[in-house]
Structure 1
Amino acid sequence: MVAGEPPFKGRTDSHTRVSILDHEPAPLLQYSAEVPRQLERIVSKALAKDRTQRYQTVTDLKLDLEQLRNELQLSSTDAAGLDRALHKSLAETITAASVPTHDRGQVDTHAESKPETGTSKIADANRQKGLIFVGLGILALLVVVSLVYWRSSPPPINSIAILPFVNESNDPNADYLSDGITESITNSLSQLPGLKVMSRNAAFRFKGLKQDPQETGRSLNVGAVLTGRLVKFGDRVIIKTELISVADGSQIWGSEFDSKLSDILSVQDEVSRKISENLRVRLTGADEAKLAKRYSNDAEAYQLYLKGRYFWNKRNEEGFRNGIDYFKRAEERDPTFALAFSGLADSYALLCDIGVATPVNEMPKAKAAAQKAVDADPNLAEAYTSRAFVKLAYDWDWLGAESDFQQALKLNAKYPTAHQWYASYLMQMGKFNRAKAELEEAHNLDPLSPIISANTGLYSYYEHNYDDAIDKYKLTLQSDPDFWVARHYLGLAYVQKGMFNEAIAELRSLIKVPSGPLPDDVVAAETEAAASLGFSYAMAGKRAEAQAILDQLQLLSRHRYVSGIYFAAVYAGLKDNDHAIEYLNKAFESRHPGLVLIRIDPMFDRLRSDERFKELVKRFEPIP
């Protein structure tokens, strides 16, 4: 042997095992000055106490040994002898690691003699190279110790949920920080290929609930959960974290961080790193780079971004507009902050998508912000997803949208929003089977997302499969009774089934006006739902009620933008094709997001034989 003695030893087997677990082996250079430093590094890595720092596979070890052999420029004869010795030793290593614990002492004794047999075949080499050959052969045996130790450890945990951090400050304005840290750690870990991370949407369903973490983990079907508590006072923040095994409720890791707000990025990095280490996630160099990636080095810009996302996640007009303000301020602090540009793009785009902003005015801003995001960070999945949405919703660049969605998923295949929006693209293109498959991918990543769940019903609705749509909407509403999308389209599915009373009741309940005329402020706040109610009245033959809603939409349009598609829907229900097509053309001119859906939307089935409608649909071509 190179060192002349084993790396771990003791008076008895028990003492040897203690040495393996608790003591560091002496460096090889202490025993032989002729040992190459590369061999010293390989031995140290094979015997590292931290399992994440060791060789994760025998193949990795073999590659480093072969590289060292090549660097030493062995002769072809020597190399062949070394290969045979190595292969034999590695095979015995694998066998030894798989033998039951009570038999391992016998296997270790047997295996120890093998490297000597292998190295004897290259004994004709000079003394220095001979020592190296023996060292390389014996190293394969040394890794038995590492593998046996690794095999005796609990299996790695490959799934986790980052539960919403609790803001224990006496300041509700610090919620942006607790929510933002949770989301940032989730996003960071979700990029690791060997770890399943529950989405923000799934985890945040438990925000504010005093539920046992272990039970929460079981309901999310993960192996571990991270809990956190945060106290902010002035420019300092104290964060307490605990990583808990769902299997037995034991603490895997826990720590407390007391830092300045300006150091919050370092805290997030440390938490993510500790989680990956303690879950024994195998990381490549590229994985480690992703985990350590910082999207901005400006702490104030990052806090402004967190505030922007906090408001954006409220998913209403006020939230989007507040988000725009914070994203702009983050951009001013850091003009290279790609995530801030992506958030800005999404805010402008969704203001148009919910029908409260004029697309021809706001979508160009979304387009510019999305492009800045891609330019600032060409490896950011969120940037391509934002740009894809603009191409789909505003540019009507079908091929460009698909290309960007696919690039986003190539960069981060575990980004549920990209899967969800790509599914929407496929559905709008009429590719229902592919859309459903893509939505299933989104659901697997985010099984508790109400919008993904509701979209399964929406796709059935667009396929004119109303019974299935109703069943799926009701399933979504079991877990989220007030979810807007599910309730809205449940009402429209009832209309197509001829269940007009149920449709009207559902939509009135949605806008919280169970009876009587609709107040003007309700029509302003719930414009799309009000238009759908007008359509329902028209289809039910209640023309006066439908006309009253049309009049309110007209009044509202004098004060702010109202999409032509809302007028067209009510007129389609009234079978007034002239006005319906007139307003659809207005919606086309204003670039209403998702207008291409009129090709498949059951609302407009009665217009399909009209030549003017056919001409309008042709303006969307070519459809890929």
Structure 2
Amino acid sequence: MTPQRWRRVKNIFDAALDAAPEGRESLLAEACAGDPALREDVTHLLESFDRSDSFIETTAVAENLGLFDGPAPAISEGDQIGHYRIDKQIGSGGMGEVYLATDEKLGRRVAIKILREEFARHEDNVRRFLREAKAASSLNHPNILVIHEISIGDETNYIVSEFVEGETLRQRLGGKPLNLAEVLDITIQVAEALNTAHGASIVHRDIKPENIALRPDGYVKVLDFGLAKLVEKREDFLQSDGNQTAKGIIMGTVNYMSPEQAKGNEVDERTDVFSLGVVLYEMIAGVTPFRGDTKSETFANLINAEPQPLSRHAPNIVGELERIVSNALSKEPGARYQTMKDLLTDLKGLRKQLEFENGYNGNARRDTVTGIFASGELPELLRPDRNSIAVLPFTNIGADVENEYFCDGLAEELLNALAKIKDLKVAARTSAFSFKGKNTTVSEIGNALNVRTVLEGSVRRSGDRLRITAKLINAEDGYQLWSERFDGEMRDIFKLQDEITLVVIDKLKVNFLSKEKAAVLKRMTENPEAYQLYAKGKLHSSRLVLPEVQKGIAYFEQAIAVDPGYAPAYVELANAYTPMVLTNDARPSDVMPKAKAAARKAIELDDALAEAHTALAVTTFWYDFDPGEAEKQHRRALELDPRSSQSRFAYAHFLSNTGRHDEALVEIRRARELDPISLVTNAIEGQILFFAGEDDEALKSLQATAEMDSNFWLTSLFMTRIYMKRGSWDEAIAAATKARDLSHGNSEAIASIGSAQAKAGKTADARVILRDLEERAKVRYVPSCTLAQLYLALGEKEKALDLLEISFTNRAAIMAFLKVDPGWDALRSEPRFVGLMQKMNLG
């Protein structure tokens, strides 16, 4: 099914779900008129979903058979069940409650699952449950939970199993990806367990992070064979009606079930292969592959949609691992791994390959489940990649100090060209350029940026004559791998850049596809003058101080005047305008339409420019308040360049402000992996954690950012919010004061001082600040919502709402935080505030 066809099926499917049952038939007749195949596709999807609706995301033996509608037995600490003494309740679910107990005969701790009384009323179901539970308990494998006893009788019905200390994989994930060592270790152990079960003709059918336990000693346990079924050998199974589970009944959890399972079709061990593939995908990406905003959307995605490529979430994913996941997630059972043993073989082969290439041993230690990389800080899936490089700013050794822009520009052009090669990891500009002018060794740079090679060089320019020296250095030992001198004239600059790039690629022995070569050698302008003006603009705008940013804008506009077809110049023009609004340095109506126009022009000139789509997404969300269109542009940017730290950063910011915290944390951590020394990326990660309700983690993250650079004002501003929420008024005032001083008087920082003073009871001091801000607003831009923040702290809700409505009219960017900033919690029940949220499409 083509993507266009799938979208049409999906749209009709969604409309049919929303329609009243009696109106569904006429809707389908109209929507599918003249296309019987389309109607058949939609009908099949609806039938599968209807069968699943009662059972998805429940314990199947419970919900599927209608057994556990009544109350669970009343069990208290100290009660006796057989020779088991109840210690405490440790969990509950659809089937009943789970308790920690002591086996008084053997003196061991056990877990007891107490089943609901209604269970015993259905004899056929009890017999089936016992048959399948006995089959599961017969399995003997270190990675399978041990069943000690099953008791079904007239009184209490229960299952006794070993008690597993530790945590579930769901708890370990916490919405974030794991490192490669952990991913392989966990997946291989689960696959070993399932391979043993399949050898006994038992299929689990409910593999998910909640059913995978991680012990402190590193062992993994597969839990809950409650959905397990006996199957014949496949050649017999396909010809048999002897399925032990009723046909057409959906059993499993929708995010992790296989397509055939979702459709209610017969299943065999390949359904577990698919489910483990979903878990593997989630461990790498931090999200499930078929997730949707609703259960129906997730279900529909599972049946027909293809998952986002893993490289979208993990730009430097090992190619072989991506192939393994893709195979396991094939929608047709015949196209995926035919046995768990086949999957296991490939996983072990990959681990062995990585041990050889990267010098680690996945079985070398069992003292922690994090395995190979004890710090757990490498979710990029490899230690310094074999093909990885940082391009440092080239040194200006000419007489003209003004040539700094040219040296930086040359390095950035080389960096951008190399970044187009999929087999090469390139450190982001912000992190690589952070070492400019510092006395840092190459080894320290390699460790900080997680790269194995560093490209550095120098430029001597005399008039139009150029002499460029480039050097490749091994970051691990500091030895020079290659050095060469390139001479030419300014008119030859593009030719010289191409020459240096191709030599570096050759020296790195990187796999280099013909289409990648075309991308590397693609020139965004043929005009040396436009290029120099653009490079000057980048130098000034990157300093992030208003006068410098304004100089940068002037240079970008000159570059465009010289070459109107220079797409990157339009992108950087947009990127220079938007921060002025986010830091309250400019009125939105003065700069955001210009930023949006520049981004649109860049896309018109080059639709494949990821940064242009990101720039358009930013203006669309922060000025137009159109999250739907903004997300479309963000996704397009990441499709074009999944390794763009800038695009991931912007998308994370968007996801956070729309309340999608788990996804936001995945994206901001990817951005940080790509650009680890970026102060703004690290600070925004702290802010996203705060908006997600993770206050302690947010403060730790921001404190770590402050250790990187104590003079970065955003870190102090974000800390202020945490202290305010905690009621630590002195700390809040100190942090806000520091933010004000470091930012040279940012109005939001000033308002935060006043808000903290008001909350601390220093009302007179707060009103002095309020008056000062109102006076400032008469001569320069101060967002009305900044004043609203202070009025709200003083208890004047109506005035605060008046100012928020003005801010909406003025399109103040800070309004985009209304949904998630706890600072506005006092207004959330106010009808006017609710109305504002709806107008901004954030309701």
CA contact (8 A) 1:157 1:224 kept: no
What is the alpha-carbon distance in structure 2 between the residues aligned to residue 510 and residue 425 of structure 1? Answer: 24
Determine if the alignment matches structure 1 residue 540 to structure 2 residue 769: no
Identify the residue that residue 102 of structure 2 maps to in structure 1.
none
What is the alpha-carbon distance in structure 1 between the residues aligned to residue 780 and residue 739 of structure 2? Answer: 23
Identify the residue that residue 562 of structure 1 maps to in structure 2.
782
| SS of corresponding position for 1:438 | helix
CA contact (8 A) 2:534 2:569 kept: yes
What is the alpha-carbon distance in structure 2 between the residues aligned to residue 560 and residue 211 of structure 1? Answer: 42
CA contact (8 A) 1:296 1:334 kept: yes
Per the alignment, do residues 555 and 262 of structure 1 end up closer, same or farther by CA in structure 2, a change over 3 Å counting?
Answer: farther
CA contact (8 A) 1:168 1:230 kept: yes
TM-score, structure 1 as length reference: 0.71
Write out per-residue CA displacement over residues 470-492 of structure 1, whole angstroms, 9 at most, x where no aligned residue.
11110111112112211111122
Identify the residue that residue 805 of structure 2 maps to in structure 1.
585
Letter in 1 for 2:827: L
Determine if the alignment matches structure 1 residue 274 to structure 2 residue 503: yes
What is the alpha-carbon distance in structure 1 between the residues aligned to residue 447 and residue 705 of structure 2? Answer: 20
Shift of 1:251: 2.3
Determine if the alignment matches structure 1 residue 466 to structure 2 residue 695: yes
CA contact (8 A) 1:262 1:300 kept: no
Per the alignment, do residues 156 and 206 of structure 1 end up closer, same or farther by CA in structure 2, a change over 3 Å counting?
Answer: closer
CA contact (8 A) 1:420 1:442 kept: yes
| SS of corresponding position for 2:741 | coil
**Correspondent of 1:600 among 806, 817, 820:** 820
What is the alpha-carbon distance in structure 2 between the residues aligned to residue 553 and residue 622 of structure 1? Answer: 28
| SS of corresponding position for 1:558 | coil
Write out per-residue CA displacement over residues 306-340 of structure 1, whole angstroms, 9 at most, x where no aligned residue.
11111111112112211110111000011110000
**Correspondent of 2:514 among 260, 282, 285:** 285
Identify the residue that residue 421 of structure 1 maps to in structure 2.
650
Determine if the alignment matches structure 1 residue 161 to structure 2 residue 381: no
CA contact (8 A) 1:167 1:178 kept: yes
Query: Matches of residues 15-414 of structure 1 in structure 2 within 5 Å?
Result: 157-414=386-643
**Rg: which structure is higher?**
1
Shift of 1:165: 1.4
Shift of 1:594: 4.2
| SS of corresponding position for 1:229 | strand
Identify the residue that residue 16 of structure 1 maps to in structure 2.
none
Shift of 1:341: 0.6
What is the alpha-carbon distance in structure 2 between the residues aligned to residue 573 and residue 170 of structure 1? Answer: 56
What is the alpha-carbon distance in structure 2 between the residues aligned to residue 249 and residue 470 of structure 1? Answer: 36
Letter in 2 for 1:580: A
Determine if the alignment matches structure 1 residue 615 to structure 2 residue 838: no
User: Quick one: percent identity of the two aligned structures?
Assistant: 35
What is the alpha-carbon distance in structure 2 between the residues aligned to residue 540 and residue 394 of structure 1? Answer: 34
What is the alpha-carbon distance in structure 1 between the residues aligned to residue 460 and residue 439 of structure 2? Answer: 18
| SS of corresponding position for 1:511 | helix
What is the alpha-carbon distance in structure 2 between the residues aligned to residue 507 and residue 615 of structure 1? Answer: 30
Letter in 2 for 1:497: R
**Aligned pairs, number:** 461
What is the alpha-carbon distance in structure 1 between the residues aligned to residue 580 and residue 654 of structure 2? Answer: 19
| SS of corresponding position for 1:193 | coil
Write out per-residue CA displacement over residues 32-59 of structure 1, whole angstroms, 9 at most, x where no aligned residue.
xxxxxxxxxxxxxxxxxxxxxxxxxxxx
What is the alpha-carbon distance in structure 2 between the residues aligned to residue 234 and residue 442 of structure 1? Answer: 40
Identify the residue that residue 454 of structure 1 maps to in structure 2.
683
Identify the residue that residue 531 of structure 1 maps to in structure 2.
751
| SS of corresponding position for 1:562 | coil
What is the alpha-carbon distance in structure 2 between the residues aligned to residue 456 and residue 358 of structure 1? Answer: 26
Q: Report the structure, 1 or 2, having the larger strand content.
A: 2
CA contact (8 A) 1:225 1:245 kept: yes
| SS of corresponding position for 2:458 | strand
Per the alignment, do residues 473 and 239 of structure 1 end up closer, same or farther by CA in structure 2, a change over 3 Å counting?
Answer: same
| SS of corresponding position for 2:813 | coil
What is the alpha-carbon distance in structure 1 between the residues aligned to residue 693 and residue 414 of structure 2? Answer: 41
CA contact (8 A) 1:596 1:617 kept: no
| SS of corresponding position for 1:599 | coil
CA contact (8 A) 2:583 2:746 kept: no
Letter in 2 for 1:607: L
What is the alpha-carbon distance in structure 1 between the residues aligned to residue 404 and residue 793 of structure 2? Answer: 45
Per the alignment, do residues 576 and 416 of structure 1 end up closer, same or farther by CA in structure 2, a change over 3 Å counting?
Answer: same
What is the alpha-carbon distance in structure 2 between the residues aligned to residue 421 and residue 219 of structure 1? Answer: 23
What is the alpha-carbon distance in structure 2 between the residues aligned to residue 621 and residue 206 of structure 1? Answer: 42
Letter in 1 for 2:615: S
What is the alpha-carbon distance in structure 1 between the residues aligned to residue 709 and residue 793 of structure 2? Answer: 30
Letter in 2 for 1:537: Q
What is the alpha-carbon distance in structure 2 between the residues aligned to residue 383 and residue 252 of structure 1? Answer: 36
Shift of 1:156: 9.5
| SS of corresponding position for 2:818 | helix
Letter in 2 for 1:303: Q
CA contact (8 A) 1:156 1:280 kept: no
Write out per-residue CA displacement over residues 439-482 of structure 1, whole angstroms, 9 at most, x where no aligned residue.
12111211222222112210121123322221111011111211
Determine if the alignment matches structure 1 residue 571 to structure 2 residue 791: yes
Identify the residue that residue 251 of structure 2 maps to in structure 1.
none
Per the alignment, do residues 296 and 358 of structure 1 end up closer, same or farther by CA in structure 2, a change over 3 Å counting?
Answer: same
| SS of corresponding position for 1:392 | helix
What is the alpha-carbon distance in structure 2 between the residues aligned to residue 621 and residue 211 of structure 1? Answer: 48
| SS of corresponding position for 2:520 | helix
Per the alignment, do residues 587 and 156 of structure 1 end up closer, same or farther by CA in structure 2, a change over 3 Å counting?
Answer: closer
Per the alignment, do residues 582 and 622 of structure 1 end up closer, same or farther by CA in structure 2, a change over 3 Å counting?
Answer: closer
CA contact (8 A) 2:627 2:841 kept: no
Per the alignment, do residues 555 and 156 of structure 1 end up closer, same or farther by CA in structure 2, a change over 3 Å counting?
Answer: closer
What is the alpha-carbon distance in structure 2 between the residues aligned to residue 271 and residue 295 of structure 1? Answer: 17
| SS of corresponding position for 1:230 | strand
Identify the residue that residue 371 of structure 2 maps to in structure 1.
none
**Correspondent of 1:432 among 651, 661, 665:** 661
The two structures, once aligned, show a CA RMSD in angstroms of 1.9
What is the alpha-carbon distance in structure 2 between the residues aligned to residue 174 and residue 544 of structure 1? Answer: 53
Per the alignment, do residues 389 and 341 of structure 1 end up closer, same or farther by CA in structure 2, a change over 3 Å counting?
Answer: same
What is the alpha-carbon distance in structure 2 between the residues aligned to residue 551 and residue 371 of structure 1? Answer: 40
Letter in 1 for 2:614: T
What is the alpha-carbon distance in structure 1 between the residues aligned to residue 737 and residue 566 of structure 2? Answer: 43
Identify the residue that residue 31 of structure 2 maps to in structure 1.
none
Per the alignment, do residues 190 and 605 of structure 1 end up closer, same or farther by CA in structure 2, a change over 3 Å counting?
Answer: same
Letter in 2 for 1:483: F
What is the alpha-carbon distance in structure 2 between the residues aligned to residue 582 and residue 170 of structure 1? Answer: 58
Shift of 1:265: 2.0
